Amino acid sequence: MTVALTDPAVFARQGYAIAQELVAPARVALLRRHLERRAAQGTMGQVDEQVPQTPAVYGDGEVDRLMQDLVPAIEQHTGLKLFPTYSYARIYKRGDALAPHRDRTACEISISLNLGQVPDEPWALHVSDFAALLTPGDALLYRGCDHTHWREPYAGQSVVQAFMHYVDQNGPHAAEKFDGRPSLGNAFQPEVTGRMRPFQLLPLVPR
């Protein structure tokens, strides 16, 4: 099942929707190579409590740049005026899973962008009672604070995934702009400040 995102009413009604081909193939390939190169060099370096021993990075400059560039498109899809907060990226490996959780307030509006996988078979991202099957360039838009989301253990080799988070400029979490940083592309150490710790772990939603 996919949701053709042509009207922000879809997102407003469900709290999630798929934006197909949100990012052009050339930029998807560039960003994937960039993250894979960082992983190979050992410079991703994020201590990721949700998916241990998996390469991850907070506030990578290239991912932050894409997050900023996507603001007009995400505003169109959601019908909201948005501030970007922070970006994150992981390269999942065989056996990785994501426990059911909801996100902190800086993730009021989130996108999970597929940058490619080996083999080329989508790995379901579950949000509430919906399973999103994303191909490179596709993104799941969702209200991360409101909807439980998770992944079952991965059976493939690798998945490169980028996450970009936003808040409603006119909403209660507008002060989360840039996630407390002076600017985008300014990756402080979140494991030191504690800003990456709060996740609300929840029981698995029956499907």
Query: How confident is the model over 73-95, as pLDDT tens digits?
Result: 999 999 999 999 999 999 999 99
Whole-model pTM over 0.75: yes
> Can you give the residue ranges of every domain in the chain?
8-171
Cα–Cα nearest to 91, from 157, 140, 138, 151: 157
List pLDDT tens digits, range 34-44: 999 999 999 88
Output Rg (C-alpha) for the chain, integer angstroms. Answer: 16
Give the CA distances from residue 3 to residues 18, 71, 82, 105, 135, in Å, rounded to whole numbers and listed in that order: 5, 20, 22, 25, 14
pLDDT at 182: 83
- Name residue 68's amino acid: Q
User: Which tokens in the block code for residue 38?
Assistant: 């960082």
Give pLDDT < 70 ranges for the chain. 1-6, 187-207
- pLDDT of res. 45: 76
Q: Which helix (H) or strand (E) holds 150?
A: strand 149-151
Q: Are 189 and 146 in contact (CB under 8 A)?
A: no
Token pair recorded at residue 114 = 């597929």
With 0-12 / 13-18 / 19 or more C-beta atoms within 10 angstroms meaning exposed / middle / buried, residue 113 is buried
The topology (CATH level 3) of 8-171 is Jelly Rolls (2.60.120)
* Dihedral of alpha carbons 180, 185, 191, 193, sign: negative
Buried/exposed 37-67: b ≥16 CB within 10 Å, e otherwise? ebbeeeebebebeebeebbbbbbbebbbebb
Report the mean per-residue pLDDT for the chain: 87
First to last CA, the chain: 15
